[in-house]
Structure 1
Amino acid sequence: MRSPLLTVTLSLLLVCLIGWLLVVGRSLLLPFVIALIVWYMINALAHAFRRIPLGAWRLPRFVCFTLSLLTIFAVSTFVLDIVASNLTQLARDAPDYQNRLEEVIAEASAMLHLNDPIEIRDFLPESLVPRMVTAGASLVTTIAGSASLVFIYVLFLILEQSTFDRKFERLFPDPERARAAFAIRAEINRSTMHYFSIKTAVSVATGVLTSLVLLAIGLPYAALFGFIAFLLNFIPTIGSLIGVIFPSLLAIVYYDTLGPFFAIATGLGLIQFSIGNLIEPRLMGSNLNLSGLVIMLSLAFWGAVWGVVGMVLCVPLTVMIVIVCARFEGSRPIAVLLSQTGDVGLLDKDVAGGDRLPG
């Protein structure tokens, strides 16, 4: 029988190996992860179309699936076109905004009667603004460049999804273990669907309201900042803060007075606070059962491993880990530590017929 020290050592080595593989294989894994998300969204939207009441009958599955594909393709193309055009325009205007920022800093130094005037290079690298915009444009270009690979992955996932259940069942020679595994998968799917459906809805509302506020005040690139707010809303805690800071900073250099800056900062701050602290918690409930500290650590880890995509996926990935660990006796302490209340027994009640698997 292996000693506890050996078990812990092997476990740590396994974790380090997996982390190393995630970092090294990032260029290969990220397109597949994005393809999994798209494939999941296609099936979820098709399921939603299927539930639309049309009298005594429902839309056929093939029609629902086709509508889902067309909807996601049209929305993705529309959004990417708007973001790309806004980023291109912003890249052309970035040097002017940086010059204006230098003027604002010089005016502030004069108002404060500083002997040694503050310069932008004192706290920001030279040409930071153009480089940030160029990096954003490069990100969109990279996503568009990998779209063909993502499309191929999604295509094969769609073609083979009818065999997934049969393959998954045959992984387990014991019917009881197969039933428990299907129960775990159902619980993961339920929690993930619950999280993404609510998070997507509130993120869309955040993005739309952000764009409307910026349009009403007259700040350019309202659609771009709305999309940024939508995307950043998936990143816990810091995403909402960044979504307010970016357009507020642009307002400082775009307008000659501070009135629009305060209006934008206040308006966007109220939107983020209302949706993030009042509406979303009521919709989300205590379903996720994750510790706040664990969410922040997960955010840091997955952000370091997979960048923005990892930060967006940190919460659902952690939820999956908690659900799986709670179903095995040997890994149940891990689920307890990751949970908010320490009570992971609720997971067993939520899974229909789900006997816990032995460790």
Structure 2
Amino acid sequence: MPRFPATVALVLVSITLVGWLLFIGRALLLPFAIALLVWYLINALSAAVRAIPFGPWHLPRAIALPAALAVIFGLSSIVVDVVTANLTELARDAPVYQARLDALLKTYSTRFGLANPLALRDLMPDNAFNQAISAGANAITTIAGSASLVFIYVLFLLLEQSTFDRKMARLFVSPERAEMVFKVRDRIAEALRHYLGIKTAVSVLTGLLTSGLLVMLGLPYAALFGFIAFLLNYIPTIGSLISVIFPSLLALVYFDTLTPFFIISLGLGTIQFSIGNLLEPRLMGNSLNMSGLVIMLSLAFWGAIWGVTGMVLCVPLTVMVLIICAQFPGSRPIAVLLSADGDVGEPISPHVTSEDP
């Protein structure tokens, strides 16, 4: 068999096997993946706190790290409580909104002279609203249920992180090879720090602007929709669209006129377009160098394996794969295919070029 088809077959088999293992092990791997993300955010927040000067002094790591841990988990608890309360209230009122939407469809069907008036069941399955709300409630319940496991993982990661470099160095007989691994790790960390920092900032801005607009117009569940906009902003392309649809549909059945519906739809669409197409690309630049098609395929792949959490994590995971594949001759073509322009940079040299001090 020619070498190229054999290589392609091996890659496809490997991807299938890895995907299958990730799928069947998602109950164990998902909390650990979330814990890694939280651990990274805690360290980033701790570094930011230690960089703040208090006169001639800076906070020591022994104080900044527990403070960052408390802030992250404190904010997470508050957000989960607020979202859970809003979801409970929305589930209680869902039949009313569903009936009003059904009546609205019939009214406009009659106004436009349709022979067969539209009903809600013609557009979506019965109890679709309740099923969507139940899915959201189950997702929140799952996150809250695994919070204790995530917290334990994070604690162990924080306690053992001081030994990570020493362990990694001892995995390799060659110091040059260990040095190369450290450089690859630093390159991944730099890319993720840049992406997550900017993405988190623009997601917070999107959530705040979404909640502010809905509060100004008097639409209920503004905090819930703001959180949804914040979370879905991590999901490429489709996330921003979904975050506009939900509050717009509620405005359609909550208000007696169509004016608030148009204001909310256009306002949220403008927020998403301005931040996603103007502000974020200017801040992000071309640092990730990822193909748009690859991002969509990655979104579908990780979404099929890990659901919404996989969609949120798809870009960081694909960035890691791209950087790692770019370092080895055998996997470098994969990195070229994943990139936007084919330029994945020079592989990190396994030789230490600088002299020891």
Could you say whether these structures have the same fold, taking a TM-score greater than 0.5 normalized by the shorter chain as the test? yes
Following superposition, the deviation at residue 182 of structure 1 comes to 0.3
Following superposition, the deviation at residue 340 of structure 1 comes to 0.7
**Which residue pairs with 2:101 in the alignment?**
101
Q: Alignment RMSD, CA only?
A: 1.5
Q: Given the alignment of the two structures, is residue 355 of structure 1 paired with residue 318 of structure 2, yes or no?
A: no
Unaligned residue ranges in structure 2 (runs of 5+) = 352-357
Mean CA deviation greater in 204-213 or 10-19: 10-19
2-structure distance, mates of 1:34, 1:207: 21
Contact 2:179 2:350 in 1 (8 A): no
Contact 1:207 1:226 in 2 (8 A): yes
Alignment partner of 1:235: what SS? coil
- 1:4–1:278: structure 2 CA closer, same or farther, 3 Å change rule? closer
TM-score, scaled relative to structure 1:
0.95
Alignment partner of 1:287: what SS? coil
**Which residue pairs with 1:155 in the alignment?**
155
- Write the letter of the residue equivalent to 1:344: V
**Which residue pairs with 2:229 in the alignment?**
229
Deviations 1:164-193 (A, max 9, x none): 111111111111111111000000000001
**Which residue pairs with 1:31 in the alignment?**
31
Following superposition, the deviation at residue 89 of structure 1 comes to 0.3
**Which residue pairs with 1:351 in the alignment?**
none
Following superposition, the deviation at residue 8 of structure 1 comes to 3.7
2-structure distance, mates of 1:226, 1:84: 13
Contact 1:102 1:120 in 2 (8 A): yes
Q: Given the alignment of the two structures, is residue 48 of structure 1 paired with residue 42 of structure 2, yes or no?
A: no
Contact 1:327 1:356 in 2 (8 A): no
- Write the letter of the residue equivalent to 1:265: S
Q: Given the alignment of the two structures, is residue 210 of structure 1 paired with residue 210 of structure 2, yes or no?
A: yes
- Write the letter of the residue equivalent to 1:128: A
Contact 2:176 2:350 in 1 (8 A): no
Following superposition, the deviation at residue 75 of structure 1 comes to 0.6
- Write the letter of the residue equivalent to 2:45: L
**Which residue pairs with 1:249 in the alignment?**
249
Following superposition, the deviation at residue 356 of structure 1 comes to 5.5
2-structure distance, mates of 1:57, 1:290: 41
Deviations 1:92-111 (A, max 9, x none): 00000000010101101110
- Write the letter of the residue equivalent to 1:278: L
Deviations 1:260-288 (A, max 9, x none): 00000111111111111111011101100
2-structure distance, mates of 1:314, 1:142: 20
Following superposition, the deviation at residue 9 of structure 1 comes to 3.2
**Which residue pairs with 1:220 in the alignment?**
220
Following superposition, the deviation at residue 2 of structure 1 comes to 9.8
- Write the letter of the residue equivalent to 1:166: R
- Write the letter of the residue equivalent to 1:14: S
**Which residue pairs with 1:62 in the alignment?**
62
**Which residue pairs with 2:92 in the alignment?**
92
Mean CA deviation greater in 286-295 or 134-143: 134-143
Following superposition, the deviation at residue 7 of structure 1 comes to 4.0
Q: Given the alignment of the two structures, is residue 71 of structure 1 paired with residue 90 of structure 2, yes or no?
A: no
Mean CA deviation greater in 156-165 or 219-228: 156-165
1:115-154 maps to which residues of 2 (within 5 A)? 115-154=115-154
**Which residue pairs with 2:354 in the alignment?**
none
**Which residue pairs with 1:189 in the alignment?**
189
- Write the letter of the residue equivalent to 1:251: A
Contact 1:51 1:58 in 2 (8 A): yes
2-structure distance, mates of 1:23, 1:74: 31
- Write the letter of the residue equivalent to 1:214: L
TM-score, scaled relative to structure 2:
0.95
Following superposition, the deviation at residue 5 of structure 1 comes to 4.4
Following superposition, the deviation at residue 12 of structure 1 comes to 2.6
Contact 2:177 2:350 in 1 (8 A): no
Following superposition, the deviation at residue 4 of structure 1 comes to 4.7
